Amino acid sequence: MEKTSTLQYQRDEHRVHLIVYHLIWCPRRRKAILTGPIKERCQQILEEKYLEKGWSILTLAIQPDHIHLFIRVWPSESTADVVKELKGITSFHLRREFAPIMKKMPSTWTRSYFASTAGAVSAETIQHYINAQKGI
């Protein structure tokens, strides 16, 4: 899945902002479980959360053993909150819907994640990196 949006400042009542994060997280023990129906369901869950929160997906790349996400969020939401929500909702649904596979793992995701902020200057670099990860 790839969605692209021009990175222009957003305005609301009292703010002008451009908050963009590059996030990466992995399944526990770096297991390559994000394939087939699990990958499709994970992507669906993430998309539902983006719509609910009003975030914009710039790029989403789900690899068998990690997720790359380039996302635009609101200034009131910290990186930790965004990651917590995304890992939490995906873990909840995947563990419930794919119990036979997921019960072999103590938890769905590792506790760690990579986060980087990005602006218009580095957006192209991050897009290039994620596309390279996807093999494009």
Pair of tokens at residue 115: 């986060």
Q: Are 28 and 110 in contact (CB under 8 A)?
A: yes
- The pTM for the full model equals 0.80
Q: Specify if 41 maps to a domain.
A: yes
Region class of 130: left (phi > 0), else alpha (psi between -120 and 50), else beta: alpha
- Edge-to-edge strand list for the sheet holding 56-63: 56-63, 66-73, 19-25, 114-118
* 3-state secondary structure (DSSP) of residue 13: coil
Total number of domains constituting the chain: 1
Q: Specify if 120 maps to a domain.
A: yes
CATH number at residue 94: 3.30.70.1290
Per residue, the 3-state secondary structure of 71-103, as one string, reads EEECCCCCHHHHHHHHHHHHHHHHHHHCHHHHC
Residue 3 is predicted with a pLDDT of: 45
> For 83-134, how does the pLDDT look when each residue is reduced to its tens digit (9 = 90+)?
999 999 999 999 999 999 888 888 999 999 999 887 655 566 667 767 777 7
Q: Specify if 5 maps to a domain.
A: no
Partners of 56 in beta bridges: 72
> For 32-82, how does the pLDDT look when each residue is reduced to its tens digit (9 = 90+)?
999 999 999 999 999 999 999 999 988 999 999 999 999 999 888 999 999
46 is in which domain, residue-wise?
Answer: 14-133
Helices 79-97 and 36-53 pack at an angle, to 10 degrees, of 140
Q: Specify if 8 maps to a domain.
A: no
Q: What are the respective helix, strand and coil percentages of the chain, to the nearest 5?
A: 45, 25, 30
